[in-house]
Amino acid sequence: MVTKIDYYEALSVSRTASQDELKKAFRKKAMQYHPDRNPGDKEAEQKFKEINAAYEVLRDEEKRAAYDRYGHAAFEGGSGGGGGFGGFGGFDAGGLGDIFEQMFGMGGRRGSTQRSAADIQIQVEVSLKEAFTGVKKEVSVKTRVSCSTCHGTGSADPNSAKTTCPSCHGRGVVRAQQGFFLVERPCPTCQGTGQTVEKPCHTCHGSGTEAATSTVNIDIPAGIEDGTRIRLAGKGEAGSGNIQPGDLYVLVSVESHDLFQREGAHIYCRVPLRMTQAALGTEIEVPVIDGSSAKVKIPAGTQSGETLRLRGKGFSVLHSKARGDMYLQMSIETPQHLTKRQRELLEEFEQENGNQAKASPESTGFFARVKEFFEGS
């Protein structure tokens, strides 16, 4: 038996955590286990999948309510052994199915009895710079549009009679048990219209729609985060008869960058410094995500791992004019492939440095403690 991880434990939050707490915990975990930061680490990859699955459920108040009450069983199929209402000795799930539909929005659009055609989901990749500035994308979408031959009626003869669909009995939808829920889907026989035609259109075979490729313009707002889903109402598959069009969902994927790493509204940049630059201090010029540059003074004696903060040089905040901060993470580079003269200079420096403990207090203190350790042993 496979043990499923507790979603709250996956994010290291309490069961009463607020949405803000969930979001902060998810960001922290995602940064820790992101595949780009753990190349080839299968365990980190699995953790990343687990926290994504957990956040996908807990960020949605309705899914979270179902999970709190029924656990993983709320999202599993099957009706045996308590996996659904069918496992309770002939208990009729029909009535409670309608209640669950009202509570959790299962089957159709919330607050509306209007049936709709299928939704479409596509993925759009944007660069980090495009995510910062916002961008308009023109994409091709494979969809279904109103039939050009019958103009959506589904009939070869506009005067031919229509009969009630024998599969759904005119409802336009069929029900299927999924875990604790009864889910409604458009009837595959009549394509959700509730009626069938005597003489189907030879182009669409009675469905009223045909396959096509359409061009859609998408506005990606500045500050958008990786994994954000944008809904374009009515841009999904076309409906026929009294069926309204479905929606188009655009999943935005933000590409990684060679110089910058993003964490929320903040940007991190690793800056390698030569040993002499760090020791003597210097002034460097660093790039900024908006395309400009900034001059930064590096203090003498800067250590590897130290961070400098540039206020307001970070990422755009979604639906706001504000910006986060930029953090420069110092990395001191040890010189390699020394010339003879460079080696002589460093040897002289080391001899001089060995008699001056305050020049390298951390290493001096460490080896002093090591000496005490062995003498104590």
pLDDT of residue 354: 66
Q: Residue 100 pLDDT > 90, yes or no?
A: no
Which pLDDT score is estimated for 351? 85
So what's the pLDDT on residue 295?
96
Asked whether residue 150 is marked as a ligand-binding residue, the answer is: yes
pLDDT at residue 86, rounded to an integer: 36
pLDDT at 94 exceeding the cut of 50 = no
> What are the strands, taking DSSP E only, across the chain?
120-126, 135-146, 162-164, 173-178, 181-186, 195-197, 209-220, 229-232, 248-254, 260-263, 266-274, 282-287, 293-298, 307-310, 326-333
> What pLDDT sits at residue 323?
94
Count other C-beta atoms under 10 Å from residue 230's C-beta: 15
Instruction: Find out whether 276 and 346 touch, Cβ atoms under 8 Å.
Output: no
Q: What is the pLDDT of residues 294-319, one digit of tens each?
A: 999 999 999 999 999 999 999 999 88
- Stronger pLDDT, 37 or 26, i.e. the higher one: 26
Tell whether the model's pLDDT for residue 107 goes beyond 70: no
Average pLDDT, integer, range 338-357:
85
pLDDT in tens, 137-176: 999 998 888 888 888 778 888 777 778 888 888 887 788 7
Question: Which range (266-270, 297-301, 341-345, 358-362) has the least confidence?
Answer: 358-362
269 known member of a binding site: no
User: Would you state the pLDDT for residue 65?
Assistant: 86
Nearest to 48 by CA among 216, 220, 226, 247: 226
How many CB atoms are located within 10 Å of the residue 299 CB? Answer: 10
pLDDT recorded at residue 358: 67
Range 235-250 average pLDDT: 81
- Nearest CA-CA partner of 328 in 309, 313, 314: 309
**What is the band of 368 on the pLDDT scale with cuts at 50, 70, 90?**
confident
pLDDT at residue number 289 = 96
Binding residue per annotation — 201? Answer: yes
Looking at residue 197, its pLDDT comes to 80
Q: How many CA atoms lie within 13 A of 162 on its CB side?
A: 18
225-240 residue pLDDT tens: 999 999 999 888 887 6
pLDDT greater than 80 at residue 371: yes
Give me the percent of the chain exceeding a pLDDT of 90: 37
For the chain, domains (ranges, CATH) are 1-75 (1.10.287.110), 76-254 (2.60.260.20), 260-350 (2.60.260.20)
pLDDT at 1 over 80: no
| Mean residue pLDDT across the chain | 81
At 97, the pLDDT band (50, 70, 90 cuts) reads: very low
